[in-house]
A and B are shown apart, each in its own frame.
Chain A
Amino acid sequence: MGIRFILMVNKQGQTRLAQYYEWLTLEERRALEGEIVRKCLARNEQQCSFVEHRNYKIVYRRYASLFFLVGVDNDENELAILEFIHLLVETMDRHFGNVCELDIMFHLEKAHFMLEEMVMNGSIIETSKANILTPIQLMDKAS
């Protein structure tokens, strides 16, 4: 299936965005987020960007105060996911201009729109920033 979930969590451990591509109950989500946030946030810069958790892998990347955590199947290409995170950040950057945690927090819906253009059902659907942002720009223009 590829990507199972994408989380954005700040360094205090607060979830800023959560998108799951498999159904988990609220309890399962809470437990999962708690466990992996604890695991990943404790790691330092010298450690690698991959953490094994249960039967999948977390590929994560930190940008200033915000962590991007992507849960993938064990046989997924880790570096491709790692750069996909960066692509996501660059895309948000192009839209918001110098994106920061607050942009995502207060424009949750836009972050969701972008993500929706990039990933569907756990598979990458689009990697061209222009194509990803077209619908949002259309909407901004319309309003």
Chain B
Amino acid sequence: MAMHGMRGLSVFISDIRNCPNKDQERLRVDKELGNIRTRFKNEKGLTPYEKKKYVWKMLYIYMLGYDVDFGHMEAVSLISAPKYPEKQVGYIVTSCLLNENHDFLRLAINTVRNDIIGRNETFQCLALTMVGNIGGREFAESLAPDVQKLLLSSSCRPLVRKKAALCLLRLYRKNPDVVNVDGWADRMAQLLDERDLGVLTSSMSLLVALVANNHEAYWTCLPKCVKILERLARNQDVPQEYTYYGIPSPWLQVKTMRALQYFPAIEDPNTRRTLFEVLQRILMGTDVVKNVNKNNASHAVLFEALALVMHLDAEKEMMSQCVALLGKFIAVREPNIRYLGLENMTRMLMVTDVQDIIKRHQAQIITSLKDPDISIRRRALDLLYGMCDVTNAKDIVEEILQYLSTADFAMREELSLKAAILAEKFAPDLSWYVDVILQLIDKAGDFISDDIWFRVVQFVTNNEDLQPYAATKVKEYLEKPAVHETMVKVSAYILGEYSHLLSRRPGCSPKEIFSILHEKLPTVSTTTISILLSAYAKILMHTQPPDQELQNQIWAIFNKYESCIDAEIQQRAVEYFALSRKGAALMDILAEMPKFPERQSSLIKKAEDAEIDTAEQSAIKLRAQQQTSNALVVTDSRPANGTPPQVPVSQLSLVKDHNSTDHALSHENGTLSKVDPQPPSADLLGDLLGPLAIEGPPGATVQSEHNAVSGMEGGPGAVDVSAIVPIEEQENTVQPIGNIAERFHALCLKDSGVLYEDPHIQIGIKAEWRAHHGRLVLFLGNKNIAPLVSVQALILPPAHLKIELSLVPDTIPPRAQVQCPLEVANLRPSRDVAVLDFSYKFGANMVNVKLRLPAVLNKFLQPITVSTEEFFPQWRSLTGPPLKLQEVVRGVRPMPLPEMANLLNSFRIMTCPGLDPNPNNLVASTTFYSESTRAMLCLIRIETDPADRTQLRMTLGSGDPTLTFELKEFIKEQLISIPMAPRAPAPPVAAPTTPAAAPTPQIPPNDPAALLAGLLG
């Protein structure tokens, strides 16, 4: 029966189509469902054709959005029909209607398996497709070996094998523990030799998943991918059917380049060269053509090529070429290309060294922020956010602010969050930061979360210079006719704390401040009223000499709210009234809030958390993660790795532990009643009156107490504790985060990473080595919200290195990162190490560290493979000392030979397997570069004794006696000790001096009180 002969289905579809409204449609659908149900009940009378027809109707109804909760059995049963048309319908409809956990699927496993291992290839295809779409665990368990066999079978036609590839992909992805892919590298490589482009297309998807999971196992596939790409790019042997608008399968090209992005690097120079030739061709040879489809397809390939070039860390020249292309794209009229230009430029930001070139396009990107298309605006915002740094933060943030007033609602929240983060991260000065946040609240108050204004309060509290400024500013905003409630909150807090600093200015008397604030009270919600009450209490306290009239006014308000229905307000009113009657004694209680300890911005954390993506970890993302771990990140300012941030205890006891607060308060003041547990936001304000300040007069005590605590945590303000800390080699009270020696050793092997980190600063390093030259960049990142001053970096170079350090600025602004390039030239072979003498001042605390720089001997080595014909004549020509030295080394760290080979390779000394017939020996070669020796070949032979792995004989030769000696010693050092300095004993730490600083309890992360504490601390 022909498919188009399903008249009943056509009639039903056209009935539905003719329904004038949704109700009619539902009626018609219900009628049909009733009909199908009855027919299925009397199943015996159904012909396969009828069954097929009804099953399609079910699918159609399901597609319309109606629940079809019966008939699944009938669909599944069609799978076992003997004829193709019924079987096909069974398979397709089943995979549309059921999910992998559906019980009925289990019933079909046997049939499916029989179809897969049977000889009918059309049945094989159907079965593989269904399993590929919805196959679950049980399918993986019973079918994976069969599917693997089909994929590799030479007797199978491509049409079956391509389906087997994707079927296997599903089974593997869903159940990597069941599907065994060990040893699949060879098979994948074999599969990639396939000529059929259909099989290649699906195999490439499989490869992407395998490589994404474990790239190391699939090295052998890399050159094959390059070959496939070359074949397509040069249009060699590509059938017409796979050519799309003159472009050899753009989809396979894209997929192949995607697979290549999962390999971290391409080491084989030939493969790399071939690949770069192909990429260069794509980059240069893609022209804009009239035909839309051709244009899209060629640009699909081009954008993937761009991504691959970025991933491969190509030469700077090629990178600039890419940025130039993208720069062109973001200015074209075609919206798709513009969108992709922006998107890819954002990805490009992850590549170092191109930021400056991207910055040249800032104006164009800002234009795109105003594009009529929201998709493009979003991309532009993302890009601006990513490219923002200290140099352009002002421009970018101000653009965002300006755009905010006209932006659509869908974007306002994102815009304001991003602006707030950028302002915080890159503020050139803090008053600007305050301006930005206040503007944000003013323009987009509805989209400003509490986090944002809490943060501004923290900054203002911690920076005395800022306090009068902030107070003036908020007062200005309050005088505007319409003020957002968040503005009232932040203003009330700041004016309560700091308006007394302005009291001599016109219009800023306590009374005036009070009346500006009080004007807002009738329009605000209860949480804000609480804050206002606190502010009144503080204003009252700061009014010296007391103003009787103001006092009466405020007391009247307190009296009024003593009977407020809201418990929080009521309590505050009662407490403030009682406290303020105590007169001068209340000075201490209502003193200014102490400084907040350094903490990670909850905003940034929020932004990080918000990045949800369930997609497979792409290479770019992996890279990004690696980069954030290596490169310098200025956002995270937790005091030390692993230790929870500690909060000054006096605050802590108040905030974290309600009960003790209650006790403390009620003890202090008999009039207090029981305190209800508060929602966190209200508590922030409750603290204003905390017992904190009871312990002493404001200022000095708070400061010193704070110091005691923060000295203990190595946090900010760690002053004056040196008396308790025994003098170290470096009289620092600041503790490094992580092990300096380990960091150094890691950097000896790789070229970028963190050299040093402490609670205030992180020093990252990135190096490039060319022959005997090196270029290092030190990234000095201030993790604090206060500047680091008296920054000094001195290089103490050993005699053999010429090192020039560019100017290091004296001050590193808050949360900024400074890059200091460093040029190194290697004059002659030596194992001596350069030292960076680095110091800075934070608060009153001088920190000095001496750090070894990873400009070590092996950085000037270049691996080289030497053939037998080259090696032996050279080896023989070096006749003996001093050019050739031999030494029996004892006390070697025992390790298997391959490990030793790896160790040498990691120092860029290339082992040449097979050169020495004795399997217990290693032969290796490398080229050393220095000004005196130029490029010089070094040959190494290591003979080991399998009976005693702790000793070996090493022979080393080169054309320079010093080099021979130094390199021999160098290798010896690596072999003898574990190249990892023992952990330095942690210097004793200032012990908490006050009983108040008792150990803080570990707080579970979901405890609201703890969250609040986190907010404060």
- Judge if A38 is at the interface, Cβ distance under 8 Å: no
Q: Are B65 and A55 in contact (CB under 8 A)?
A: no
- Given known pairs A48-B373, A131-B241, the reply for A116 and B92 (CB within 8 Å) is yes
- Judge if A64 is at the interface, Cβ distance under 8 Å: no
Tally chain A residues at the interface, Cβ within 8 Å. 62
Q: Are B4 and A127 in contact (CB under 8 A)?
A: no
Which residues of A lie under 8 Å from residue B100 when comparing CB positions?
23
In chain A, positions 26-54 with a C-beta closer than 8 Å to chain B are 26, 29-30, 33, 43, 46-52
In chain A, positions 68-95 with a C-beta closer than 8 Å to chain B are 73-75, 77-80, 82-84, 86-87
- Judge if A62 is at the interface, Cβ distance under 8 Å: no
- Judge if A99 is at the interface, Cβ distance under 8 Å: no
Which residues of A lie under 8 Å from residue B166 when comparing CB positions?
120-121, 123, 125
Partner of B336, one of A1, A82, A135: A82
Q: How far is the CA of A74 from the CA of B62 in the complex (A)?
A: 28
Q: Are A15 and B63 in contact (CB under 8 A)?
A: yes
Q: Are B239 and A128 in contact (CB under 8 A)?
A: yes
Q: Are B303 and A109 in contact (CB under 8 A)?
A: no
Interface readout for B1-12 with A: 1 if CB under 8 Å, 0 if not? 111111000100
Which residues of B lie under 8 Å from residue A121 when comparing CB positions?
132-133, 166-167, 169-170
Q: Are A84 and B56 in contact (CB under 8 A)?
A: no
- Judge if B297 is at the interface, Cβ distance under 8 Å: yes
In chain A, positions 87-143 with a C-beta closer than 8 Å to chain B are 87, 105-110, 112-113, 116, 120-121, 123-131, 134-135, 138-140, 142-143
Q: Quick one: closest B residue to A8, CB to CB?
A: B63
Q: Which of B3, B163, B167 has the most CB atoms of chain A within a 10 A radius of its CB?
A: B3
Which stretch from B81-89, B913-921, B977-985 is at the chain A interface?
A: B81-89
* 10 A-B residue pairs with CB within 8 Å: A26-B67, A51-B375, A80-B250, A108-B60, A109-B3, A127-B242, A127-B249, A135-B122, A139-B88, A143-B3
- Judge if B723 is at the interface, Cβ distance under 8 Å: no
- Judge if A66 is at the interface, Cβ distance under 8 Å: no
Q: Are A23 and B99 in contact (CB under 8 A)?
A: yes
Which residues of A lie under 8 Å from residue B17 when comparing CB positions?
105
Q: Which of B66, B239, B254, B612 has the most CB atoms of chain A within a 10 A radius of its CB?
A: B254
Q: 17 new A-B pairs (CB below 8 Å) besides A15-B65, A121-B132?
A: A2-B205, A26-B65, A29-B65, A74-B615, A75-B621, A79-B297, A80-B250, A86-B293, A106-B10, A106-B14, A107-B3, A120-B133, A121-B166, A125-B163, A130-B241, A143-B1, A143-B85
Which residues of A lie under 8 Å from residue B56 when comparing CB positions?
108-109
Which residues of B lie under 8 Å from residue A124 when comparing CB positions?
201-202, 205, 251, 255
Q: How far is the CA of A123 from the CA of B164 in the complex (A)?
A: 13
Q: How far is the CA of A106 from the CA of B60 in the complex (A)?
A: 10
- Judge if B335 is at the interface, Cβ distance under 8 Å: yes
Task: In the A-B complex, list the 6 residue pairs whose CB atoms are closest, starting with the nearest.
Answer: A79-B300, A48-B335, A143-B2, A128-B241, A23-B99, A123-B205
Q: Are B92 and A48 in contact (CB under 8 A)?
A: no
Which residues of B lie under 8 Å from residue A23 when comparing CB positions?
99-100, 134
Which residues of A lie under 8 Å from residue B378 when comparing CB positions?
52
- Given known pairs A48-B373, A73-B615, the reply for A83 and B163 (CB within 8 Å) is no
Closest Cβ of chain A to B792, distance in Å, is 44
Closest Cβ of chain B to A3, distance in Å, is 11
Which residues of A lie under 8 Å from residue B297 when comparing CB positions?
79-80, 83
Closest Cβ of chain B to A12, distance in Å, is 11
Q: Are B244 and A83 in contact (CB under 8 A)?
A: yes
Q: How far is the CA of A29 from the CA of B62 in the complex (A)?
A: 10
Q: Are B198 and A1 in contact (CB under 8 A)?
A: no
In chain B, positions 246-261 with a C-beta closer than 8 Å to chain A are 249-252, 254-255, 258
Q: How far is the CA of A134 from the CA of B375 in the complex (A)?
A: 39
Q: Are A50 and B375 in contact (CB under 8 A)?
A: yes
Partner of A33, one of B65, B198, B615: B65
- Judge if B270 is at the interface, Cβ distance under 8 Å: no
Closest Cβ of chain A to B194, distance in Å, is 14
Partner of A79, one of B6, B96, B296: B296
Which residues of A lie under 8 Å from residue B134 when comparing CB positions?
23
Q: How far is the CA of A138 from the CA of B162 in the complex (A)?
A: 19
Q: Are B202 and A120 in contact (CB under 8 A)?
A: yes
Q: Are B340 and A126 in contact (CB under 8 A)?
A: no
Q: Quick one: closest B residue to A115, CB to CB?
A: B92
- Judge if B159 is at the interface, Cβ distance under 8 Å: yes
Q: Quick one: closest B residue to A77, CB to CB?
A: B254
In chain B, positions 603-632 with a C-beta closer than 8 Å to chain A are 612-616, 618, 620-621
- Judge if B13 is at the interface, Cβ distance under 8 Å: yes
Q: Are A74 and B613 in contact (CB under 8 A)?
A: yes
Which residues of A lie under 8 Å from residue B62 when comparing CB positions?
26
Q: Are B133 and A140 in contact (CB under 8 A)?
A: no
Partner of B129, one of A107, A116, A139: A116
Interface readout for B49-61 with A: 1 if CB under 8 Å, 0 if not? 0000000100110
Q: Are B241 and A129 in contact (CB under 8 A)?
A: yes
Q: Quick one: closest B residue to A128, CB to CB?
A: B241
Q: How far is the CA of A41 from the CA of B743 in the complex (A)?
A: 55
Q: Quick one: closest B residue to A131, CB to CB?
A: B198
Q: Quick one: closest A residue to B295, CB to CB?
A: A79
Q: How far is the CA of A67 from the CA of B339 in the complex (A)?
A: 20
Q: How far is the CA of A52 from the CA of B65 in the complex (A)?
A: 23
